[in-house]
Chain A
């Protein structure tokens, strides 16, 4: 089950980053736990126990992972039914996706979901390579306005209306 040579080979040094992340998370868990004062619990197990145990597990895994990497082990990038690992990660697409996502998070409270959601959908379809602008715009607006009504009427959740206040 190793049909992902390119992604795995490129992994190389960046894999040590994973070990570093695990180490950091583990250290954070332990440091945070040491700051917790638990007077309510008796015996050896209290509010600190689980975070410390998890922190130790993460640090141990960081060490073992480093050993594994030094020995030449490589993380196997996850395949999938619609994933093509023969080319590397497409960072431009990822950047545009994250940008659209962030735009929605920044704009949702001021412009309202019907507009920010449409921006999100339009931006993500563009990022993923669609270029039929009319179709993209139509679907974006129908989806965002439709979902606003769906949440409002169907679930009783009022998503922000923003600029369209009084219209919807």
Chain B
């Protein structure tokens, strides 16, 4: 078990005072932004990308991962107390969690969410530590054609699995690939899509892109549709989890972990599908079906465990293959790139300190998060009193400072505004943002793999599909593209053919009010 030994070394790295400090900063920040609706881990990490100019990579990633995990904890607090999810990953939690709180069982709901998150986060991180070295062993044998195939799979999966319209998803992917292409082509040295502007020759800085799409675009979008009604917050006192609650929670926690981890590891849009599956499963398995819809604790315990496990699962492809499966992971990949580190199978060898320190700090972060959230959830909820103007003004403020600091040039500020405008219009017209950000960050890597693969095959296109692995992956890609269309056709024919929309979302999802399916967290 080389993973275990490496992990013990990792604890040595993670437990140094300075790294511990960044872990604490990360989880505190993560919980805070998790509580606040409208601000998610992807946006926060994007806003913090300027730190990568000076911070040690290990410390930066310890903090970023803390934000990722913390966001999952904080989101549940808002869901339960307010019936407005703090994060899209905790949409499902809001259903039963808020009903529990209304019945005076808020403290129990918060507790089962926090403990479930802790258990799932810990098991998920352990699974990450065990699985990652195994995947690396397989991945090390993969060549450029295989990587190119995996990246195609990531692009197609993230565009087609979720979202209400495949056309708009693919359009968003195209826009992302286009932005990723801007700059000097590293292979030939030719300028592409630079319009002759010298500042574009180096490509668009990842800070500007990520901050523009997630922070500026989102802030503008929210500003145009500011919610005016104060939500009713439920005051929580007394009535912690009793014996019965524990008895009813532990199985959903474990089942949620089991569902969340693998779903997090595949590019299927983050935590939304698995949390919904967990909810549906608990509803089916419960001995108290009459309580569902009236505040069933299983409906909180399961999905909350699931979303934390999926966060852990999402780190597997990121660290072993360099493939992001969610917006947050994509921004983290962007951070790796700005350090000049390309995550992939060699990362575990070349940056062993970084990776294992990161994983170890996730265990520590989970403990801190439990301590921060279990007794203090209602104190975190006070953040909800911050007036929106200050919140969203703060986002634009830090977005500007970060974009300017990237190259200390006002050109980047104007670029930021343009990309922010793009982000606004994408949200306005239903073009999902996640495929775009993944394409921007992964696109150039995919192009490099493509050209390397063809160099090896001496220009023969068959070189792209000459390994069994790549063949299998392309079959999956084709299935992803074709099967939903066929199902759609068959269904619409049965319905009389008059509903030719791309209704490929979760058909029987409970009514979630204002939630878009393809939004993993800003």
Contacts and interface: CB of A to CB of B under 8 A. Distances in A.
Contacts of B171: 18, 22, 58, 61-62, 65
Interface in A109-131: 109, 113, 117, 120-121, 124-130
A3 B223 contact: no
B393 to A, nearest CB: 4
Contacts of B428: 7, 75, 77-78, 89
A80 B496 CA distance: 33
A32 B178 CA distance: 11
Contact of A89 (B224, B227, B392, B513): B224
Interface residues of A, number: 92
A134 interface: no
Interface in B285-314: none
Given A33-B192, A47-B185, A64-B167, A78 B222 contact: no
A145 interface: no
Contacts of A120: 396-397, 400
A18 B401 contact: no
Contacts of B167: 61, 64-65, 68
Nearest to B518: A78
B6 to A, nearest CB: 31
Interface in A1-39: 1, 3-4, 7, 11, 14-15, 18, 22, 25-26, 28-29, 32-33, 36-39
Contacts of A75: 165, 168, 428-431
Contacts of A51: 178, 181, 192-193
Nearest to B166: A64
Interface string B49-68: 01101100000000000000
A1 B429 contact: no
A82 B431 contact: no
Nearest to A37: B190
A141 interface: no
B: contact size bracket: 35 or more
B188 A41 contact: yes
A165 interface: no
Nearest to B501: A73
A90 B88 contact: no
Contact of B165 (A26, A44, A73): A73
Contact of A159 (B85, B187, B408, B522): B408
Interface in B389-422: 389-390, 392-394, 396-398, 400-401, 404-405, 408, 410, 413-414, 417
B430 A84 contact: no
A82 B515 CA distance: 10
Contacts of B511: 3
Nearest to A127: B223
Contacts of A44: 454, 459, 461
B88 A81 contact: yes
- Most-contacted residue by chain A among B228, B401, B425 (CB, 10 A): B401
A93 B228 CA distance: 14
Contacts of A61: 167, 170-171, 174
Contacts of A79: 513-516, 519
Contact of A1 (B164, B189, B222, B454): B164
Contacts of B31: none
A166 interface: no
A57 B417 contact: no
Nearest to A85: B225
A83 B219 CA distance: 10
Interface of A: 1, 3-4, 7, 11, 14-15, 18, 22, 25-26, 28-29, 32-33, 36-47, 49-51, 54-55, 57-58, 61-62, 64-65, 68, 71, 73-85, 87, 89-91, 93-94, 97-98, 100-102, 104-106, 108-109, 113, 117, 120-121, 124-130, 139, 143-144, 147, 151, 154-160
7 contacts: A43-B455, A51-B181, A65-B171, A80-B37, A90-B224, A121-B393, A128-B223
The 9 tightest CB contacts between A and B, nearest first, are: A43-B459, A75-B430, A81-B37, A82-B38, A128-B389, A124-B393, A79-B514, A130-B389, A105-B413
Interface of B: 37-38, 50-51, 53-54, 78, 84-88, 164-165, 167-168, 170-171, 173-175, 177-178, 181, 185, 187-193, 216, 218-229, 387-390, 392-394, 396-398, 400-401, 404-405, 408, 410, 413-414, 417, 424-433, 443, 447, 450-451, 454-455, 458-461, 500-502, 505-506, 509, 511-517, 519, 522
